Structure 1
Amino acid sequence: MRIKLTKDLACSQETCSSGEEHDAVLLSPRSTTVEFTLDSGKKIRAFSYEYVTVDTAVV
């Protein structure tokens, strides 16, 4: 799924800004928490109030 962040996320020294889009996966079928990987390889989790689903296809 493709998500767009609605809040700034910080994990250690790396940050993700509001408005950035990422390819993410749900942690479990009944969960709304997603996980995505930064270019550096670090995995970040976002909760349902921190992102919206983007309806564009991944190319």
Structure 2
Amino acid sequence: MHGVRCGYCNQQDTLSAREQPNYFHLFWIPLFKIGTSRYAECSHCKRVYSKEEFPTEMKKALSKT
């Protein structure tokens, strides 16, 4: 995310937003998608922010994309 600082290590432009699909499994076989998890990770300190932890600066940057 351009122009956003990590709240933990204070580095700018190191956060990347990710989406991970969640599937229902039956005996380790994914059958169908039941949802999606969103998170951001800092490439410098490896801190992971869940969607609920996003500060307003991150939310604004994500809404622009």
More helix by share: 2
Of structures 1 and 2, the one with the larger relative CO (CA 8 A, separation 6+) is 1
Structure number, greater radius of gyration: 2
Q: What TM-score, normalized by structure 2, do the two folds share?
A: 0.37
